[in-house]
Chains A and B, each alone.
Chain A
């Protein structure tokens, strides 16, 4: 710190560095929870007490020993529907993030590596999409294509990838001018080898961090779209639409609306803490 040149504070140097404070435990457990959810939720159909549209009791049975979260306006088990709804949107979220990540990384890497007019064209395209109001365009696309998980996935990915493309591109450009890349280039390595071994690993860390922090936001966006009727159509269990349906009976049977919303809150919060944890670890 005393002699002239500052080592650029690139983030990967902190990978094994001393961790601040003792706040890591909560994030770690949340990370485990998120991993566990990803592993368990595909098997949700075998785990829930009753089926998606199965009527198991009188409508509006309050939460109790038999139905932990009560029953809804048609007498279906709220707990089972919440778990199934979570399972379907979980796949939506992962799908959106992974697809956006793929598109964004490919476009961002190409733009950042090649530069010149390719960069200009790709980035104008990205900026154009970013300048549009994302959630509103998603809404319009789903409204036009018709409700349903697949269309939601398509619509949200279409407006989500440019964020990643922009980050990846700027990271690629930042890493490309670092001395270690110059060192590799001056040794006569092929451009592809330089890009894959000496640039990309440095870019992936920050982008993975951003993506993990986004899981919660996408989860909420999906729930909101479903809440205003743009998710899977009626009998299907989805967190947003269940809460919307229960909202009508909010003051007589609050649990119907509250239960899905509360579960969503818990999972989103775990996802956000886990994202923080990922950031602390590799960011």
Chain B
């Protein structure tokens, strides 16, 4: 296992390296703004003295490194600044909205993984089903999330009335802040069902693109693997197509598909911005889009930072998972 420990260490170190880069980029963008954050903070009619004070508070006149170190220090103590639109600390706002987004993304990620697996495996077979899956995949990859939301809302809300148009239902106060989990923990089946009804449409919309992308990559690599000699030799040992896929195909084809899955789930954090505003889902994404409308930069950078960190963590997780699946990665390069 030393190979594993070593490679794990390398990946851990590279993740640790990316986080400062991320914070630095975000901080620099914030600093280089044409719109003056000091003016935003001090207000439109502030006196020059007040403006200078605000400038000092924001550290705009300090040299780059000092400023960055100060910024990092504030970050580590949980200070993300104050939102101009809600007049609350951004960190508090994020704490309020994060569980909803996590819940949505988790459900969608699950849907995307299962969907991607199905599309990939079924699509890898030759013949009519494979062709059909391909057309469905291209269509899925071409649908903007708002188109899908529009169609689903028209059909399942307006015409059939199966699902609500938006919102999250009655939020049960609970330990996790995720309605699905909390209602279960409280032993409230009605609340759970309501939560499920609310999450279905947004999660489907959020999951479609990633599912198709994962499916495409999985199908391509699975087809390649299934043409390999060791698959021939497994089949010559009497294994059927499905058993071979299960035993040899998926393990070997998983690498690229997993990378794609990691990428797509992280992209979901970006996609949640659109989906949450479509379905009035009270999460970070909707918070972000209202912040964009109000040019509320502290809130925007705060959210981007939190989602960015989630993205980096997720990538690290996927890398580690790949290390577990493919023994060759533990030694080469």
Name A's B-contacting residues (CB within 8 A). 23, 127-128, 131-137, 139-141, 143-146, 216-217, 220, 223-224, 227-230, 240, 243-244, 247, 250-251, 254, 257-258, 261-262, 264-265, 268-269, 271-273, 276
Contact = CB atoms under 8 A, between A and B. Distances in A.
Does more than half of chain B's interface fall in helix, strand or loop, or is it mixed? helix
Contacts of B25: 132, 137
A140 B29 contact: yes
A136 B150 contact: no
Contacts of B300: 139-140, 143
A136 B131 CA distance: 34
Given A131-B315, A223-B144, A230 B22 contact: no
6 contacts: A128-B18, A132-B18, A133-B267, A135-B270, A272-B142, A276-B138
Nearest to B22: A132
Contact of B30 (A133, A144, A250, A265): A144
Which of A217, A228, A254, A269 has most chain B Cβ within 10 Å?
A228
B301 A139 contact: no
B139 interface: yes
Contacts of B142: 216, 220, 265, 268-269, 271-272
The 10 closest A-B pairs by CB, nearest first: A135-B270, A261-B147, A269-B142, A268-B142, A133-B311, A131-B18, A140-B304, A228-B289, A133-B308, A136-B304
B227 to A, nearest CB: 11
B203 interface: no
Contacts of A139: 270, 273, 288, 292, 300, 304
B21 to A, nearest CB: 5
B304 A137 contact: yes
A230 B26 CA distance: 18
A259 B25 CA distance: 38
A135 B267 contact: yes
Contacts of A276: 138
B261 interface: no
A227 B297 contact: no
Contacts of B32: 144
B116 to A, nearest CB: 16
A272 B269 contact: no
A144 B311 contact: no
A150 to B, nearest CB: 13
B279 to A, nearest CB: 11
Contacts of B34: 145-146
B214 interface: no
B19 to A, nearest CB: 9
Interface in B32-47: 32-35
Given A128-B21, A276-B138, 14 more contacts: A132-B21, A133-B266, A139-B300, A140-B26, A143-B300, A146-B34, A224-B144, A230-B292, A247-B146, A251-B158, A257-B146, A258-B151, A268-B144, A272-B142
Given A23-B131, A133-B269, A228-B292, A144 B29 contact: yes
A254 B308 contact: no
Interface string B189-200: 000000000000
Contacts of B150: 243, 247, 250, 254, 257-258, 261
